[in-house]
Structure 1
């Protein structure tokens, strides 16, 4: 397919890129990542004040017309280039569009408005793509309802790897309810019985933690649509959009690493000439550029197919994520090699993007699980499926 970004898309990206370039140069990022636990409240507020958190909002919160996940994927490239220390794709690409399409109480609507304005930071637990009983699928967070009395519900459970958990005030927790549907609850981190355990993260711009609910009492009104509601279709749709946004972050990060590498090999001299003039180096640079464009084209194609069935769209999103994570890591590894001994130092800062690529490979799932999920779905209706029972070996 042939696709060109529109003038409006390019103007939006340029505006966001200019803001991030001003607010988050590499020196500022290093300060936040290494000394402020990966989050800048000031920079996050600047994003919100300029309307970037509500790009995909629906209903009365919608500010832009005809905006879709493809637009946010394109914008997210700038976030990946600057390694913005905040949950931009999670909030703008998943939480805000999800909440803006649900039937919220007045209190929940006020919360959404504060999230979009940057007054409150919100994060979300996410399903994990895992293998269970010889089948790969999404497992939603395990939350148990202990008691119900006087309009309150007591919850228990543990959820790992929640982004920016240490910095947030509210957590969106989707979970599988007693009737098999996917319900959602908004939990204030200041509630009694909530323990937050910080975790180590490969990506310094993506701090994460474990949420432990130890008999936490939640008001019935904190559940979106009630504790037995089912929002699975909408969650699947927004999860696809989130994965597409992450592709944009990775493509932008890979492109920034390549640009830094090109500038370095132009300046670094060996035998009296720039090392970029050597044929072997030229070939590596060209291959990396082609790989990035392949990843971008694949992601654009997947984003343009979001009108199809949710299962097919999610499969396409997982396929493009597998391809893009591999390309991102490959670009960073080759960039380190092209920088020679400097590539292993912190002076060139390539290690920040390399760590981000490592983080993305294990976020939500693992490359091996994604591969199995793709094969499982592609072979499901195949006439050869009985012959290739790859996940049922005895």
Structure 2
């Protein structure tokens, strides 16, 4: 077994562990650079299986977070559409505005199906699990990013200010798109599963 196929559980406060906080675009999510220099830990048996399981769980977790973020963008935008009045009526009553909200809802429901599919496939140890987690991560992260952008636009002038939370959703969505592989990388994995070397 090579070093790349081994895994250990190491405490963050163990001797030889250095944790350096990083500056990120999304200030609401702290990230750090961890260096292990002579640190001791508990070896994990069957490292490849443990790593694969960790990846599956991480992909589903990020996809679920993205789904929740997209839903929050829609919920907040719908609430704003009901309270903001223009030309004597709520802006949510205008057809073009309603169409944008409907588009957001359709994207979110598709992402919800992808996340549920991935969670069920992993839980049931289905042969589709590998494909499902890649599909869920890429689709949900892209959906969140699209909904966060729509949230900013549909809030009008206030959506572009630091005083409104829309920028926080947008930053989180952008960070999730690149976390644990970009959407393009995940789609390439799916293409290789389906097409093999032809991909």
Scaled by the length of structure 1, the TM-score of the pair is 0.47
- The question of whether the paired residues in 1 share the 8 Å contact of 2:139 and 2:183 is answered with no
Deviation sequence 1:137-174 (CA, Å, 0-9, x none): xxxxxxxxxxxxxxxxxxxxxxxxxxxxxxxxxxxxxx
- The question of whether the paired residues in 1 share the 8 Å contact of 2:114 and 2:135 is answered with no
1:207 to 30, 36, 40: 30
The correspondence of residues 227-246 of structure 1 with structure 2, limited to 5 A, is 229-246=45-62
CA distance in 1, matches of 2:142, 2:159: 19
- The question of whether the paired residues in 1 share the 8 Å contact of 2:7 and 2:47 is answered with yes
Give the aligned partner of residue 156 of structure 2. 340
Gaps of 5+ in 2: none
Give the aligned partner of residue 196 of structure 1. 19
CA distance in 2, matches of 1:190, 1:182: 19
- The question of whether the paired residues in 2 share the 8 Å contact of 1:266 and 1:275 is answered with yes
- The question of whether the paired residues in 2 share the 8 Å contact of 1:195 and 1:213 is answered with yes
Give the aligned partner of residue 131 of structure 2. 315
Gaps of 5+ in 1: 1-176
CA distance in 2, matches of 1:324, 1:203: 18
Q: Which has the larger radius of gyration?
A: 1
CA distance in 1, matches of 2:118, 2:66: 15
Give the aligned partner of residue 6 of structure 1. none
The answer on 1:187 being equivalent to 2:11 is yes
1:298 to 108, 114, 121: 114
Instruction: State the Cα distance separating 1:179 from its structure 2 match.
Output: 6.3
The correspondence of residues 1-394 of structure 1 with structure 2, limited to 5 A, is 178=2, 181-192=5-16, 194-214=17-37, 216-218=38-40, 222-225=41-44, 229-306=45-122, 307-308=124-125, 312-380=128-196, 385=197, 388=198, 390=199
- The question of whether the paired residues in 2 share the 8 Å contact of 1:199 and 1:207 is answered with yes
Instruction: State the Cα distance separating 1:370 from its structure 2 match.
Output: 1.8
Scaled by the length of structure 2, the TM-score of the pair is 0.88
Report which stretch shifted further, 281-290 or 343-352: 343-352
CA distance in 2, matches of 1:260, 1:286: 14
Instruction: State the Cα distance separating 1:340 from its structure 2 match.
Output: 0.6
Instruction: State the Cα distance separating 1:190 from its structure 2 match.
Output: 4.7
Change (3 A) 1:318 1:256: same
Instruction: State the Cα distance separating 1:242 from its structure 2 match.
Output: 2.8
Higher relative contact order (CA 8 A, sep 6+): 2
Any idea what SS the aligned residue of 1:196 has?
strand
Instruction: State the Cα distance separating 1:217 from its structure 2 match.
Output: 4.3
CA distance in 2, matches of 1:179, 1:267: 59
- The question of whether the paired residues in 2 share the 8 Å contact of 1:328 and 1:357 is answered with yes
CA distance in 2, matches of 1:205, 1:232: 32
- The question of whether the paired residues in 1 share the 8 Å contact of 2:107 and 2:143 is answered with yes
- The question of whether the paired residues in 1 share the 8 Å contact of 2:91 and 2:97 is answered with yes
Q: Where is the helix percentage greater, Structure 1 or Structure 2?
A: 2
